[in-house]
Amino acid sequence: MLINRAAIILKAKQPAVDWINSVEPDKRAGSITLEDVNLESIIYLVPEDIENIVYARAWVMNNAEILLEEFLDSWYQDDSLWPSSFSDELFEQWFSIEYHSMIIDTTEDPIDKEAM
């Protein structure tokens, strides 16, 4: 069943991976790869009126600080390790945006929602 949402997926770029490896306590240079980071991406379901990549990009940039904090926190909860400042430029260097408009729910089971 087609659902009334679009999906946005953020894919890390190499500068994000470089940051992870720079603060990695294990310090094995390059131990985390781009493939490792993008193996499990968060999928953001957004309103269906975000109907193309232009609107998706606007939504992402309006929420960039929150999205970046979620990414950083998923790697290291110690925010003293995080970049000292956030900017649109940093976000664009670290992530690419995927947009998907066809979201199909293949089950009749209800969707459980959990606060993050």
Per-domain residue ranges for the chain? 5-100
Question: Is-contact 5 47, C-beta < 8 A?
Answer: yes
Provide the whole-model pTM.
0.85
Q: Is the pLDDT of residue 15 over 80?
A: yes
Model pLDDT, residue 29: 60
21 vs 116, residue with greater confidence: 21
Q: Is the pLDDT of residue 24 over 80?
A: no
Share above pLDDT 90 across residues of the chain, in percent, rounded to a whole number: 72
Model pLDDT, residue 26: 65
